[in-house]
């Protein structure tokens, strides 16, 4: 289990490439979302101000999604080892 802790670098979200590789695994989409944008909301949503949720869901690509997080000082990491 991964515990998220805001204001640290322990907020893990998988990379876009990892998300795409795992999308075909049975049950993955139900837990992690159909799109990378949905994945970010499912994983970090309670730490992201609700007014940004729509912006994230409607973003065109993963780069713009991550830019929204960066521009709003939402701390995250793609490095799973930093979580532990």
* Residue 23 in domain: yes
What is the residue range of 73's domain? Answer: 16-79
* Residue 69 in domain: yes
Token readout for 72 is 């709003």
**Count of structural domains within the chain:** 1
* Residue 3 in domain: no
**How crowded is residue 38: how many other Cβ atoms within 10 Å of its Cβ?**
16
Instruction: Give tens-digit pLDDT for 58-70.
Output: 999 999 999 999 9
Buried b (16+ CB within 10 A) or exposed e, 2-17: eeeeeeeebbbbbebe
**How crowded is residue 60: how many other Cβ atoms within 10 Å of its Cβ?**
8
Confidence of residue 1 (pLDDT cuts 50, 70, 90): very low
Confidence of residue 2 (pLDDT cuts 50, 70, 90): very low
Q: What is the mean pLDDT of residues 33-49?
A: 94
**How crowded is residue 43: how many other Cβ atoms within 10 Å of its Cβ?**
20
Confidence of residue 10 (pLDDT cuts 50, 70, 90): low
């Amino acid at each position: 289990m991964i515990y998220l802790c805001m204001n640290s670098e322990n907020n893990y979200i998988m990379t876009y490439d990892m998300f795409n590789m795992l999308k075909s695994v049975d049950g993955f989409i139900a837990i992690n979302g159909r799109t990378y944008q949905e994945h970010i909301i499912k994983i970090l949503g309670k730490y992201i101000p609700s007014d940004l949720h729509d912006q994230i869901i409607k973003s065109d690509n993963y780069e713009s999604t991550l830019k929204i997080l960066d521009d709003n000082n939402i701390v995250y990491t793609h490095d799973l080892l930093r979580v532990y």
